[in-house]
Chain A
Amino acid sequence: MSEYARYLDDSQRSFARPRTLAQWLHLDLVLLLPLCLIMVLGLFVLFSASDGDWSTVSRQLRNFVVGWGVLLVVAQVRIDTIQRWSPALYFFALGLLLMVLMFGVGAKGAQRWLSLGIIRFQPSEVMKVAMPLAVAYWVVRYGLPPRLGVTVVSLLIIGLPAVVIGLQPDLGTALLVAASGVSVIFMAGISWWQIMAGMLTALAALWPAWLFILRDYQKQRILTLFDPEADKLGAGWNIIQSKTAIGSGGWSGKGWLQGTQSHLDFLPESQTDFIIAVLAEEWGFRGVLCLLALYGLVVARGFWISLTAQSTYGRLLASAITLTFCVYVVVNMGMVAGLLPVVGVPLPFVSFGGTAIVTLMLGFGILTAISTEKRIISQ
């Protein structure tokens, strides 16, 4: 519990006693209601994307149930408890990542999974949650805005796991993990000249690497990443087909279950990373706008929570979680529409896949915890 609550006596606390079930369960309905709608929408799109396969839909439903369970549990945890355990969680996640590097299970040419008897999971997902917690913990410890030394250490905290994940190799997750950490530093208020200097340093470091270290075929692969349509039958095939799916949807779409690109197998990864193309094809531009609006509501509420959070740590965390969520949406929709290179980033709560849902719900659990804590106190 934060600073103020400590000084409240029992009688004052009774004022803060929850009056509704939602309050009692520490749930922020304004945040969670649009989330619910996105999930319902997502299930409809997934049903179509999987060609009406009920088992896929029910597995996704199970993922949602597990996600909600995680959220409910996390929502009950007090923010200062989370703050206290942040470093431990970070080092735990880092340890797991190193273990993956040494004895992980491979899939599709990359080592991402760690098998613990019955549970197989990606430690990088744990790091996605642990990263903002740890960076926030570190910068809050020395006060805002962070001094140069604190920033440098923060960059190390961010860089180490990001490099390890990048080695798996999983560029998309590495970027997302790094983004969640960087967003905390940004929120903490590092000066703009530091941001500029950081970007210039990164460029200065990459330029010689491009010139002298990378071989031609590696450069080619990176170029393909940025211009996939040059490789029409390989990486370009996916983008051409997804753009065709999106574009052919028009304003009102071809109708639910009527998408030809997705149902005739032209669209790759239509249940996971490219699912937005299915939505765009079948529900049209207005469907895309609806989904974006729902995401917008969630983001707006996230920022509101951040703005009104009682502790600096909570504020940093809330904005980092919201920003990361934003990055998911923008990167995924951008890459499917051919704006950004194709990196493996799922569309939150629409793409099929349990790990991403559980990770996201963990974040939203923290968000709702921050939100409701404040309320309990203020009332």
Chain B
Amino acid sequence: MAGPLDAMRDTRREWSINRARLIACLIGILMLMAVLVYRYYSLQIIQHDAFLTQSDRNRIRVEVIPPTRGQIVDRKGRLLATNQPTYVVGVIAERATDLPSLLEDLQQRLALTEDELEAFREGIAQRRPFETVPIKVGLNEQAVATVAVDLHQLPGVVVEAQLTRHYPFADVLSHVLGYVGRISLEDLQALEADHYRGTLHTGKVGLEKRYESVLHGRPGYQHVETNAHGRLLRVLEKQPPQPGQDLRLHLDLDLQQIAAEALGTQRGAVVALDPLNGGVLAMVSNPSYDANLFVEGISYRAYATLRNSMDTPLLNRAVQGQYPPGSTVKPLLALGGLSRDFITTETTVRDPGWYRIPGDDRRYRDWTLRVRGGGHAERVDMRMAIAESCDTYYYDLAYRMGIDTMADVLEPFGLGRPTGVDTTAEQGGILPSTRWKREAMGEAWFPGETLSAGIGQGYMLATPMQLAQATMVLANRGTSFVPSIVHRVGDMTVGGVPREPLKMHEEDWRAVIEGMVDVVHGQRGTAASISKGITYQMAGKTGTSQVIGIAQDAIYEEEKVSERNRNHGLFIAFAPETKPRIVVVVLAENGGGSSAATPVARRVIDAWLNELSDV
């Protein structure tokens, strides 16, 4: 076994070589050991605190428990906006055996769009290990079933439930409730970020936005211990969320549906108020849209369709639609004339069917001119002027009052500024005056324009809600309230804020209201057609407002005017006359005349007084 040099082997020298090398090794090893010990010392003693924090952060996660959004119910407790469980399907890539084929499978089961797949791929690329990446959100129980039943055959797929806003009566209530939508960057700047951690939605318009702060609630927190896969093991500490408060509305779902049904396909709006507290009993704007579409994000195409539609379904006509009030301002002007002594209840005006400003040749026509000519009567008094809506009478009154006095007397009824009803984007209409025209248009006021204003035409604009508020003042003979949709927030009553009362002589109120009763119940009343079979006294006033200007001496002929240029029909009413329990305003956009509006009001008031009212 010995090698070629075995004979010359110097064992002693070999031993000393080995010994020297062993010592070298020993030194080397001791140095390495020292480095190791220092490394562990550094990690475990010097940096201990940092790593302990790190390990706690690893295992302990602060989870936000988003609050449950408050629900919205009508005056009888029926759910109008609620939270429905929906499902999210997600994928944990680490658990999936074959991701591409799993994706194909899911695409078939869930009908995934290219956008959803793209978002998912992005999520997969940026995930933490074992993180769930959502692939489809907002599924209902039936849709999620296509995945849920085979979950055991789909390793890596998880299904999570979450609450999503749902509006069961979106067909008639979208304009009232508004909707929630995904929180946008813009929203985030306005919201308190701390309160919205873990929350995906916020109110965008309507009540949902106006009452966001109370509907939302406060999030809770829990410290949970999780493993590396993100699985929750136990809850260490918990602070429960404060759920959002429920809203109870003045609104009556049945009345809302009846109003919408009565309006039918007619574009327009219906506002019904409770004159006792200003509560909104119904608020319909037609056409409407489905608020549920907005909750999980409406597709661009669907939104463009809604937005570009000529019928402007996204416009809440009740508070955003501004229309010339037409003859519905006449009772208000009459009261103003009485209070400022321009007229008495006995004052009469000669009515040949037209009016001429002294010293001017131009004729201002009464509406009867195109129907029968010759005016309402030889002489017309205030009561008749209201009942039959005599324009001549009001041309005269307006001429004598002047535009600025008119503005002064109409202002207490709430024209010219938003009512303050609790919704969003309310418009304030226009109450013209010389000052207004100078500021808005930079022009002087012309006397002829005063006459247009006398019959609610020209520059004067009002929303149906403003007219309803003004009608409430009439109904209550001076007292009124800021209209409010919400009655109670949680246990607290809100709204019912009284407005400055309008002080008038009792006989003045009576005279004007008698005229308004004649509108419906009088033989020649402009709304006499709806009085058939009526069991209570209704006071009202019709209005027809022009969309296009009619040339001097030309006659408005409905058949010749295109549909979009037809007159708007208006009707304001309250009932019963002596002790009013409901105020109604109906606007029939391009309805041709007030006859498109009056039956709607009758139907709504009938329903309220005979069937629905809880008084």
A-facing residues in B3-52 (Cβ within 8 Å): 3-6, 8-11, 13-15, 17-22, 25-26, 29, 32-33, 35-37, 39-41, 43-45, 47-48, 50-52
For the complex formed, measure the closest distance between the CB of A45 and the CB atoms of chain B, giving whole angstroms. Answer: 15
Judge whether B54 is part of the interface by a CB distance below 8 angstroms.
yes
A337 and B10 contacting across the interface, CB-CB below 8 Å: no
Residues of A within 8 A of B39 (CB): 334, 337, 339
Tell whether A261 pairs with B58 under 8 Å between CB atoms, given A233-B129, A280-B40: yes
B33 and A144 contacting across the interface, CB-CB below 8 Å: no
Residues of A within 8 A of B5 (CB): 141-143
For the complex formed, measure the closest distance between the CB of A241 and the CB atoms of chain B, giving whole angstroms. Answer: 8
In the bound complex, CA of A233 to CA of B93 (Å): 14
Judge whether A260 is part of the interface by a CB distance below 8 angstroms.
yes
B25 and A303 contacting across the interface, CB-CB below 8 Å: yes
One of B134-142, B176-184, B226-234, B242-250 at the interface: B226-234
Q: How many residues of B are in contact with the other chain, CB < 8 A? A: 50
Partner of A264, one of B6, B9, B35, B226: B226
For the complex formed, measure the closest distance between the CB of A95 and the CB atoms of chain B, giving whole angstroms. Answer: 23
Count, A-B residue pairs, CB within 8 A: 156
Residues of B within 8 A of A141 (CB): 3-5
Tell whether A189 pairs with B17 under 8 Å between CB atoms, given A248-B51, A250-B48: yes
Of the listed residues A143, A241, A285, the one surrounded by the most CB atoms of chain B closer than 10 A to its CB is A143
Residues of B within 8 A of A284 (CB): 44
In the bound complex, CA of A140 to CA of B227 (Å): 56
Tell whether A315 pairs with B43 under 8 Å between CB atoms, given A247-B48, A330-B36: no
Residues of B within 8 A of A237 (CB): 129
Residues of A within 8 A of B25 (CB): 183, 186-187, 303, 319, 323
For the complex formed, measure the closest distance between the CB of A239 and the CB atoms of chain B, giving whole angstroms. Answer: 12
Judge whether B208 is part of the interface by a CB distance below 8 angstroms.
no
In the bound complex, CA of A323 to CA of B433 (Å): 104
Judge whether B371 is part of the interface by a CB distance below 8 angstroms.
no
Tell whether A288 pairs with B44 under 8 Å between CB atoms, given A143-B9, A244-B51, A334-B39: yes
Residues of A within 8 A of B44 (CB): 246-247, 249-251, 280, 284-285, 288
Residues of A within 8 A of B52 (CB): 247-248, 250
Judge whether A148 is part of the interface by a CB distance below 8 angstroms.
no
Residues of B within 8 A of A80 (CB): 1
Name B229's closest neighbour in chain A (CB-CB).
Answer: A265
B59 and A266 contacting across the interface, CB-CB below 8 Å: yes
Residues of A within 8 A of B9 (CB): 143, 312
Proximity string of chain A (301-314) to chain B, C-beta cutoff 8 Å, 1 when within and 0 when not: 00100110000100
For the complex formed, measure the closest distance between the CB of B290 and the CB atoms of chain A, giving whole angstroms. Answer: 43
B59 and A285 contacting across the interface, CB-CB below 8 Å: no
Residues of A within 8 A of B228 (CB): 241, 264-266
Name B10's closest neighbour in chain A (CB-CB).
Answer: A143
Tell whether A244 pairs with B8 under 8 Å between CB atoms, given A285-B41, A285-B44, A307-B19: no
Judge whether A326 is part of the interface by a CB distance below 8 angstroms.
yes
A250 and B55 contacting across the interface, CB-CB below 8 Å: no
Residues of B within 8 A of A183 (CB): 25
For the complex formed, measure the closest distance between the CB of B128 and the CB atoms of chain A, giving whole angstroms. Answer: 7
Judge whether A292 is part of the interface by a CB distance below 8 angstroms.
yes
B233 and A264 contacting across the interface, CB-CB below 8 Å: yes
For the complex formed, measure the closest distance between the CB of B223 and the CB atoms of chain A, giving whole angstroms. Answer: 14
A-facing residues in B170-208 (Cβ within 8 Å): none
In the bound complex, CA of A156 to CA of B51 (Å): 46
In the bound complex, CA of A339 to CA of B233 (Å): 33
A315 and B18 contacting across the interface, CB-CB below 8 Å: yes
In the bound complex, CA of A52 to CA of B468 (Å): 76
Jot down 29 A-B pairs with beta carbons below 8 A, ordered by A. A83-B1, A140-B3, A141-B3, A187-B25, A188-B17, A189-B14, A189-B17, A189-B18, A233-B128, A241-B58, A244-B58, A248-B51, A248-B55, A250-B52, A260-B59, A261-B55, A265-B227, A266-B58, A266-B228, A280-B43, A285-B44, A285-B45, A292-B37, A306-B18, A312-B9, A323-B29, A330-B36, A339-B36, A339-B39
B-to-A contact residues, CB < 8 Å? 1, 3-6, 8-11, 13-15, 17-22, 25-26, 29, 32-33, 35-37, 39-41, 43-45, 47-48, 50-52, 54-56, 58-59, 128-129, 225-229, 233
User: What are the 8 tightest A-B residue pairs by CB atom distance, in nearest-first order?
Assistant: A247-B51, A141-B3, A189-B17, A248-B55, A264-B227, A285-B44, A265-B228, A247-B43
Having A143-B10, A303-B25, one finds 9 other A-B pairs with CB under 8 Å, namely A143-B14, A243-B51, A260-B56, A260-B58, A265-B228, A266-B59, A280-B40, A299-B29, A337-B43
